[in-house]
Amino acid sequence: MTRTAAPGVFALLLAGCASVPVPPEPPPAPPARGEVGAALLAPEGDTHRMALGRHQRFVYPTLEQPAALPAYPAELLPLRLPPVEVCVDVVVGTQGQVTAAAERADARCTMPGDVPDRAAFVAPTLAAVRAWTYWPAALCTAPDGFDGSDPCSAADATETPTPVRLSYAIRFRQHDGVPVVERGE
């Protein structure tokens, strides 16, 4: 004698197999990212300083925004390095363009010993600062006999664009696996 299952049993078995939801795969971990910042450093002790008369005032250059910062070197993100600080000197010309940029030797900006490739941080830093533009520095000079408080506000004041050297510290770091590039303070 042949036994056959009731049609309802087959339907129940098939329905049970077809309705089992498959859990979704977890989303992939976000890729490591980096941010960068820059801080203006005080000039070195032996830096030549401009001597101003009572009827003169120096107007500092103003960095025009946006001023792109370098990217954290992507190939170094998986290494989770300790913070790295790169110091640079930037010469701003009379037209507001960066005319020179070089790494600055500074005790504050030493690289940790486990940084495998110093140039991976220095090269993008120099490339970024070379692209910055400024409202140029100027020397305001009021006519002789000026007795006000701001030589630049004198009616016949002259503004002479002046080249200037600025120094910056650029800090590269990672926080909770996310790279951050910022101005060192």
For 83-124, how does the pLDDT look when each residue is reduced to its tens digit (9 = 90+)? 888 999 999 999 999 999 999 887 777 777 767 888 999 999
Q: What is the mean pLDDT of residues 149-177?
A: 88
| CB neighbour burial string for 59-73, b if at least 16 within 10 angstroms, e if fewer | bebebeeeeebbebb
Q: CATH fold of 58-183, please?
A: TolA/TonB C-terminal domain (3.30.2420)
State the pTM of this model.
0.71
Alpha-carbon distances of 12 from 132, 164, 176, rounded to whole Å: 71, 84, 50
- Reported residue count of the chain is 185
Residues 6+ apart with CB under 8 A from 149: none
**Taking CA 181 as the corner, what is the angle to CA 175 and CA 185, rounded to the nearest 5 degrees?**
95
Q: For residues 96 and 135, is the Cβ–Cβ distance under 8 A?
A: yes
Angstrom distance (rounded) from CA 170 to CA 185: 9
Residue 50 has pLDDT above 70, yes or no: yes
Question: Residue written as tokens 């600055």?
Answer: 104
Residues 6+ apart with CB under 8 A from 177: 32, 80
Q: For residues 137 and 99, is the Cβ–Cβ distance under 8 A?
A: no
Q: State the pLDDT at residue 164.
A: 93
pLDDT 10s digits, 1-44 = 555 555 554 444 444 445 555 556 655 544 444 445 566 776 66
Residues 6+ apart with CB under 8 A from 152: 57, 59, 140, 142, 159
